[in-house]
Amino acid sequence: MTFFEKLGNQVFSKQTFLCVGLDPVWEKMPQHLPRTQQGLLEFLLNIVKQTKDYAAAYKPNFAYFEALGISGLEVLQELIKEITPEVSVIGDAKRGDVGHSAQMYARAVFESFGCDAVTVSPYLGQDALRPFFEYRDRGVFVLCLTSNRGADDFQLPDLHLHVAKKVQQWNVSGNVGLVVGATFPEKIKAIREITGQMPFLIPGVGTQGGDLEKTLLYADDGSKLPYLINASRSVIYASPREDFAKQAGIAAKQLRDRINSLRSSL
Amino acid sequence: MTFFEKLGNQVFSKQTFLCVGLDPVWEKMPQHLPRTQQGLLEFLLNIVKQTKDYAAAYKPNFAYFEALGISGLEVLQELIKEITPEVSVIGDAKRGDVGHSAQMYARAVFESFGCDAVTVSPYLGQDALRPFFEYRDRGVFVLCLTSNRGADDFQLPDLHLHVAKKVQQWNVSGNVGLVVGATFPEKIKAIREITGQMPFLIPGVGTQGGDLEKTLLYADDGSKLPYLINASRSVIYASPREDFAKQAGIAAKQLRDRINSLRSSL
């Protein structure tokens, strides 16, 4: 089964387009938990336990684990092992390097960390992406239009469209999607027109203030195409107290329901 | 002292523009060394010992260490500790993520791994680079024009020039350089014109076949500007036998001498 078939099963059987981003920082973790490997893992596993009925996938961002050093990466590895195969894990690593190095990054993310999918950066072109694409049972989300202000520096006005066109051509195994930010919802329309039925991973609806309704309008093509609306901080830091996991579950359920409600009136 | 002052001291006191890339793979390591953490560290430290008189910096590529899992990253951390502060280490990590995540990557590379400098990707724009730039005592090489074939997909014909212009504007603390591949030497001329006295990190002269003479002609501005010519495989895999370190030293010395000889006739 391909990654996107597996993802589609999750999305339509659980009726959720929600992806929960796992971006842990000591400063925001509930105060009663110890700032240790064990405390971090406990924090994340409890979030997962309470949100997994509402999440089609989890997206740990490698940056937050790397910032904690080797011990942070040990937690990441353990976390992924605990989540998969029940729910898919997208390793948000945004890797991008020349061909042979890209092969090493693909090996790291898919084999050493055991991710089902990954995010990658297109700046170095096709040979930097191909080693990821060659894992035909895994998913690859290529950065197209990101949700941050800096997207305006190079991605806009045209580069993101070139990226969408090229990636569409390179997607010979049907295992490639795009990262498209919700902070520029009108742009999603043009990208959808270029890429047809390509799954999108969409950050930026939470703290970053992207327009969820417009995003769904342009991302959804009315078919059984899976795509993911990502929320990180608004879910995992829903409460700084001992009820953090329960509150994360409530936040995840609310966002899932809001997405479904908006979708049903598209 | 800024990173580039420190680098300039190394370059002009040791009379070497050579950067040695450390990209270890089991398949190419000398056959007598065990495929273990200890064997890997022994391989790399012996290479460093025999090449450090000819190297202005070392550039371990994170991909190759990540591909070996947590134990590979432990070797990377130990390796960097052993090389610095005697010689500078450029963490070839090519990271690039939205602002807060970029801050985490900067913390990982500079604080957790202790690198003196880093390579980063510009696709996400200024807010993805700023957290790295804010480490004013460290160096940041932004990918501009890479040495691989895929550079033709997005970086050429114009994007690399936009990147050079923007990065030049953003370099308010004088701690930023560019990665410019030797496989497109004529392009280096235009980039040099845009960026003035900005240090370049130049891969692609070894196995990838970039033209060293033309590269030096366009990269060197005749002043005491430090820049780095990187060689990885041609140095560290100079011999697969027990004399690997000695041969790496000879290969490094030869390349250093060739660079100096070509520079003196510019």
Judging contacts by C-beta atoms under 8 Å, the chain A residues touching residue B102 are: 63
Alpha-carbon span B79 to A11, nearest angstrom: 44
pLDDT of residue B123: 98
Residues A118-151: tens digit of each pLDDT = 999 999 999 999 999 999 999 999 999 999 999 9
Q: From the list B77, B129, B153, which residue is nearest A125 (CB)?
A: B153
Tens of pLDDT, residues B64-104: 999 999 999 999 999 999 999 999 999 999 999 999 999 99
Q: What is the pLDDT of residues B101-126, one digit of tens each?
A: 999 999 999 999 999 999 999 999 99
Q: Is the pLDDT reported for residue A24 higher than 90?
A: yes
Query: Could B61 and A128 be called an inter-chain contact, meaning their C-beta atoms sit closer than 8 Å?
Result: no
Could you tell me which chain A residue has the CA closest to the CA of B78? Answer: A70
Nearest to A154 among B100, B153, B163 (CB): B163
Q: Which of A94, A166, A246, A253 is catalytic?
A: A94
Task: Using DSSP bridges, classify how beta strands A200-202 and A18-22 pair: parallel, antiparallel or unpaired.
Answer: unpaired
Question: ω before B199 within 30° of 0 (cis)?
Answer: no
Instruction: Give the percent of chain B with pLDDT over 90.
Output: 95
* Distance in Å, alpha carbon of B111 to nearest chain A alpha carbon: 8
Out of B94, B105, B127, closest to residue A149 by CB: B127
Q: Looking at residue A222, what is its pLDDT?
A: 87
Q: Do B67 and A112 touch (CB under 8 A)?
A: yes
What is the average pLDDT score of chain A?
97
Residue A207 pLDDT > 80: no
Inter-chain residue contact B96 with A97, CB threshold 8 Å = no
The active-site residue out of B14, B28, B52, B94 is B94
Q: Which residue of B has its CA nearest to A167?
A: B153
- pLDDT averaged over every residue in chain B: 97
A13 — pLDDT class (breaks 50, 70, 90)? very high
Q: Is the pTM of this model over 0.95?
A: yes
Percent of chain B with pLDDT over 70: 100
CB contact (8 A) between residue A122 and residue B146 = no
Residue A211 CA to its chain's centroid (Å): 18
pLDDT digits (tens, 9 = 90+) for B148-168: 999 999 999 999 999 999 999
- Residue B67 with chain A: CB contacts under 8 Å: 104-105, 107-108, 112
Rounded to an integer, what distance in angstroms lies between the CA atom of residue B231 and that of residue B59? 9
Q: What share of chain A is helix, strand, coil (3-state, %, to 5)?
A: 50, 15, 35
Per CATH, the architecture of A3-264 is what?
Alpha-Beta Barrel (3.20)
Please compute the mean of the pLDDT values over residues A163-176 and round it to a whole number. Answer: 98
Contact B119, B141 (CB under 8 A): yes
Q: What is the pLDDT, as a whole number, of residue B208? A: 82
Chain center to CA of B103: 21
Q: Is the pLDDT of residue B37 over 90?
A: yes
Does B207 score more than 90 pLDDT?
A: no
Q: Is the pLDDT of residue A104 over 80?
A: yes
Whether the predicted pLDDT of A167 surpasses 90: yes
Active site residue A49: no
**CB A160 within 8 Å of CB A186:** no
The beta strands (E) that lie in chain A are given as 18-22, 57-60, 88-95, 117-120, 139-145, 176-180, 200-202, 228-231
CB B162 within 8 A of CB A154: yes
B171 and chain A: CB distance < 8 Å anywhere?
Answer: no
